[in-house]
Amino acid sequence: MGEQLPVVSLFSGAGGLDLAVERADADPLSAADPGSGLLKVSVATDYNEPALDTLRANFDGATTVSGDIREVPTEQILATAGLRASEPVLVVGGPPCTPFSKSGFWLEQKRESRDPNASLLDEYVRVVRESRPEAFVLENVQGLTYTTHRAQFERLLKALGELGYNPQWKVLLAADYGVPQLRRRVFVVGRRDGEKFEFPDQTHSGWSERDRKIDTTKLPHVTAGEAFADLPTVLRVSEDEIVAGQYGELAAEVPPGQNYLWHTDRYGGRNHFEWRSRYWTFLLRLDPNRPSTTLQAQPGPWVGPFHWENVRATDGVERARRLRAAEMLRLMSFPDDFKIAGNRADVQRQLGNAVPLELGKAVIRALMVQLGYITEQSESRFAVG
């Protein structure tokens, strides 16, 4: 292995983009292939100590900086990694997406884009400006591109453009890159030399809530059933997996792929809810023949997606169940041996905020090819067909 290229990771969280960096040239959907080690995360930053614990548990010799990025100087970040300005090959990161997520729209200040955490975008720009990497990759929820947040998004692009990086952005669907999840994320990518970044072509195709056209020259979307196929059978049901409470019975009666609308006067369940009176994810069950919907970080007690199979609670009654850690790792295309401390909810919180590994790999790999660090010949092994 030659000298590894240094990468600075901001807002690292559970390490989805960090994994993508260090496995950028690994075979797609291969947990056994860690890649060549071309890139190395030299320093990872986050304000959440449990997230940094996850990073340390999964990245050998990880160097971390803990603290509010607004109070952490760029010089400290670089010094921790043993780097100077212009030495990082990449700066990567996804500023916390809560201000721009649909799940926060019930709060007036979020609807009006007045969330103070939105300033974290400016901190990302500050680190890029002061560290001068060869390129950067910023990831966020699709909501950042909505009209509600248009002023902030355009300010971000303008600031990065003024640095000479010619930022390009695109909303990508994770399922189009082999992730068994219909998760949309916006990526903003820029190069210090001002050359235009070209986003990678999708490798998979299938219908989603917005696109019913299928490209038959691509591989089909990976389904949840395929993702879970070889997971070991768990005989004992954990109490925190069971969907109980006020809507427990109703959840257990919802068929695979359906949600609370099953229990309206238009479908075959109980006539319990008004049509379109809840969010789509309310009582949502996975369809084993399709990719999962977006895995949420902090869902309410009756917010899915739940597994398509019921389980029997201790009282013998059938109940829907929440996804297990091993299943959530598969839906994020993370390695099976990825370690996250805590209970099932802790795992979901960290993974729900993370970048799906295969989606991140596709973007990082395309960038490294265009920068000349990966040859077109080595890239050809990722071609479909």
Positions marked active-site: 97
- Length of the chain as a residue count: 385
321: DSSP letter: B
Task: Please check whether residue 38 is in contact with residue 369, taking contact to mean a CB–CB distance below 8 angstroms.
Answer: no
Helix (H, G, I), strand (E, B) or coil at 170: strand
Question: Helix 150-162 crosses helix 120-131 at what angle (to 10 degrees)?
Answer: 10
Q: Any idea which residue has 């000298």 for tokens?
A: 3
Cα Rg of the chain, angstroms: 21
Residue 18: how many CA atoms within 13 Å on its side-chain side? 28
Strand pairing class (39-46; 135-141): unpaired
What span, in angstroms and rounded, lies between the C-alpha atoms of 62 and 52?
Answer: 9
Interacting residues of 357 by C-beta distance below 8 A, sequence separation 6+: 16, 19, 20, 23, 179, 332, 333, 334, 335
Classify residue 49 as exposed, middle or buried by CB count within 10 Å of its CB (0-12, 13-18, 19+).
exposed
What span, in angstroms and rounded, lies between the C-alpha atoms of 362 and 65?
Answer: 27
What span, in angstroms and rounded, lies between the C-alpha atoms of 65 and 57?
Answer: 15
Structure tokens belonging to residue 30:
């291969």
